[in-house]
Chains A and B, each alone.
Chain A
Amino acid sequence: MTSVLPAWLQARQQAAQKRYESIPTPKRGDEAWRFANIKQLNFENLSGTALAADPANLISRSVGLESPAAKFVFLNDELVFSESSLPDSVICLPLAEAFEKHSGLVEKHFMKQETRLGSVKYAALHEASVKNGLFVHVPENQIVEGAIEVHHWISGGVTVFPHTLVVTGKSSQVRVVDVFHSVDGETAGLAIAFNDLCAGQNSSLDYVAIQDLNEVSRMISINETSTARDARAKGFVLNTGAAWARNESLSRLEGPGAHSDMLSVSIPDREQEYDQRTFQHHVSEGAYSDLLYKNTLYGHSKTVFSGLIFVDEKAHHTDAYQTCRNLLMTDDCEANSMPGLEINADQVKCSHGSTSAQISDEEIFYLQARGIDPSRARQLIARGFSVEVVARLNDESIEALVLSYIDKKFNGISKN
């Protein structure tokens, strides 16, 4: 594919490259990287050569929803498969093609918000390097049944920059699921992903990211969601894979009646580390945001959660909630939580909190008294802990897909 990039993008990429080079690498002591393992930002261990992979094999391994509205498979940001039964009015294209065919529309929405949760350097690198991903534009009043499913295969050896840009017109509806996989279990790769979600007035936009990379790979994913008047955005992140993953998620509530659900389930094991930073930005009055992140930690794993609810001066009548809950399955795991709240308006309802707990003996006793052995009992309780978040997706088929990755993870843990 030798398409010529639009001039605006070329200019932005050049500027972004300069920014990337001039911005210093985060260091210990930076507030946005508190508790973070800065060593993970040394990317020199990548071989620089992509491992060879057979697209046909990957396509057959891209098992997802029962009947997706459209399905795309990428290998190292190259499209290798697509099929769609979407209505003609919906634009749903690989980003590389959309840059060419819908340049103006992409430009209008592409990476518009300021990255403010620490990864400004990596957002610049993403902007400078992005080649592909998915562009979805749903016109006014169009309800998309089913979900758009995207598989991103990362062969390892190189860095990929998948980008998902979803724009919903007034009173429309769409659901998009990204799944991040590694081609093999041994080759280290790096993904610096970005998802831009722009929920137009009174629309409904659900986005689900499933991160299931191999345990030597790393991922930075940056999410920016804007929610207009009466729009409903739902973002969900599942972390089961990778050696290290950093998720930054920013949701801007831009109109009255806007509603943002920010959800996450992470199940780290062994030495895995997940570092999540969130920002619920209430720009408009009368908007609602609700964050629920749950971590179930095994082995020597580590999580960091840092969340801020920020209510602007004029954002009266805000409803904003933030909860991070950690379930500690071993004595050696480490969960760090830093919930935060800054309110500059009147008459707001806000709460934030975090908890860390182990499964109590009494809970285990109840299940054991029904004949369930203690390790299975612990697994059932831990799964139930995650299921509570998954159930908020309110879509049977997507819930089943997410649960299949959760179950795969738990099954792997029980074999340890």
Chain B
Amino acid sequence: MSLKINNLQATLENGTEILKGVNLEIPAGEIHAIMGPNGSGKSTLSKVISGHESYIVTAGNILLDGVDLSEMSIDERSRAGIFLAFQYPNEVPGVSNANFIRAALQARLPKGEEIDAVGYYKSLYEKMDLLEMDRKFTGRAVNEGFSGGEKKRNEILQMMMLEPKYCILDETDSGLDIDALKIVAKGVNAMRSPDRGMLLITHYQRLLDYIKPDHVHVMSEGRIVKSGGPELALELEENGYDFLKEPALV
């Protein structure tokens, strides 16, 4: 059971190469973090895993518990168990948060089956309480007028409601103050499970103080260039990415 990325190469529609052969396996039960300088391809990796259509996969594949995602659309991948927490979540005017999450859950049910409304709200409120989100957020349009921190909490709320097998969090810590970061981390930690793998994409060690990763990887110029344990993040915090500029040791 793992999310396995094999030699993944992807370009933009104009041919610009972004991912140049990424190899990474996230077994269920583990949390992996990817760090790396701006422009290294971290966010692109998260979008390509989700199936974003602006990127063309030119080689390699992604296996979800052994199932190749290549031919699956964005929504099929989501229903198969991939969740992407967005760095910049979109606003959906006129669609209430409660109806949005409900539509996402409904999409996972067989045709003709309906969500049980009472059970749904009970579950929604439990998770909102854990994320310290006011009940008024159920009726507000998705992310509209939300602060940066509220948007990120809302991503985690959706993640908790959809219970994906593999979670990818794209810079969930950016724009969060320390209190909001702690709350978000509480939500993510509550999702830790032997059946679930997670990939945290971040610039900062700070997030990893609150969500302890099992493995840390460094991405640069479209490849994973270094992997290690949690101590690697501390090392990066200390020394930055300068080592990337040195000639690679063969």
Are the chains A and B members of one assembly? yes
A372-B107 in contact given A380-B100, A381-B95 (Cβ < 8 Å):
yes
- Which of B54, B89, B90, B101 has the most chain A CB atoms closer than 10 A to its own CB? B90
- Which of B75, B84, B95, B141 has the most chain A CB atoms closer than 10 A to its own CB? B75
Complex CA–CA separation, A391 to B227 (angstroms): 52
Complex CA–CA separation, A362 to B86 (angstroms): 11
Question: Chain B: interface residue count, which band?
Answer: 20 to 34
The answer to whether the Cβ of A363 comes within 8 Å of any Cβ in the partner chain is yes
The answer to whether the Cβ of A329 comes within 8 Å of any Cβ in the partner chain is no
Mark out the residues of chain A between 378 and 398 whose CB falls within 8 Å of any chain B CB in the assembled complex: 380-381, 383-388, 391
Q: Point out the residue from B51, B78, B103, B108 that lies within 8 Å of A376, measured CB to CB.
A: B103
B75 x A362 contact (CB < 8 A): no
A376-B95 in contact given A361-B53, A370-B78, A371-B79 (Cβ < 8 Å):
no
B92 x A371 contact (CB < 8 A): no
The answer to whether the Cβ of B160 comes within 8 Å of any Cβ in the partner chain is no
Chain B residues positioned under 8 Å from A21 (CB to CB): none
B108 x A371 contact (CB < 8 A): yes
Binary CB contact string for chain A from 249 to 274 against chain B (1 if under 8 A, 0 otherwise): 00000000000000000000000000
Binary CB contact string for chain B from 78 to 114 against chain A (1 if under 8 A, 0 otherwise): 1100011010011011110000110110011000000
The answer to whether the Cβ of A369 comes within 8 Å of any Cβ in the partner chain is yes
Q: Point out the residue from B54, B93, B94, B158 that lies within 8 Å of A370, measured CB to CB.
A: B158
Chain A residues positioned under 8 Å from B89 (CB to CB): 366
> Nearest chain-A residue to B73 (Cβ)?
A368
From DSSP, what is the main secondary structure of chain B's interface residues?
Answer: mixed
A384-B95 in contact given A362-B90, A371-B104, A372-B103 (Cβ < 8 Å):
yes
A386 x B94 contact (CB < 8 A): yes
**Would you give the shortest CB distance from A108 to chain B, in whole angstroms?**
41
Chain B residues positioned under 8 Å from A372 (CB to CB): 75, 103-104, 107
Mark out the residues of chain B between 1 and 56 whose CB falls within 8 Å of any chain A CB in the assembled complex: 50-54
A interface residues, Cβ below 8 angstroms from B: 361-363, 365-374, 376-377, 380-381, 383-388, 391
> Nearest chain-B residue to A388 (Cβ)?
B94
A370 x B162 contact (CB < 8 A): yes
Chain B residues positioned under 8 Å from A367 (CB to CB): 92, 100
> Nearest chain-A residue to B141 (Cβ)?
A384
**Would you give the shortest CB distance from A315 to chain B, in whole angstroms?**
33
6 extra interface residue pairs, beta carbon distance < 8 Å, beyond A367-B92, A388-B93: A370-B75, A370-B104, A376-B103, A380-B92, A384-B92, A388-B94
The 6 A-B pairs at the shortest CB distance, nearest first, are namely A384-B94, A387-B94, A371-B78, A368-B74, A366-B90, A384-B95
**Would you give the shortest CB distance from A21 to chain B, in whole angstroms?**
47
Q: Point out the residue from B75, B86, B93, B95 that lies within 8 Å of A371, measured CB to CB.
A: B75
> Nearest chain-A residue to B81 (Cβ)?
A371
**Would you give the shortest CB distance from A355 to chain B, in whole angstroms?**
13
| Interchain residue pairs with CB less than 8 A apart (30) | A363-B92, A365-B50, A365-B53, A365-B90, A366-B92, A368-B73, A368-B75, A369-B50, A370-B75, A370-B100, A370-B107, A370-B158, A370-B162, A371-B78, A371-B107, A372-B104, A373-B73, A373-B75, A376-B103, A380-B92, A380-B95, A381-B92, A381-B95, A383-B95, A384-B93, A384-B94, A384-B95, A385-B94, A388-B93, A388-B94
A369 x B92 contact (CB < 8 A): no
Complex CA–CA separation, A377 to B106 (angstroms): 12
A385 x B93 contact (CB < 8 A): yes
Complex CA–CA separation, A372 to B51 (angstroms): 13
- Which of A363, A371, A373, A384 has the most chain B CB atoms closer than 10 A to its own CB? A371
Complex CA–CA separation, A369 to B100 (angstroms): 12
> Nearest chain-B residue to A360 (Cβ)?
B90
**Would you give the shortest CB distance from B184 to chain A, in whole angstroms?**
18
A387 x B162 contact (CB < 8 A): no
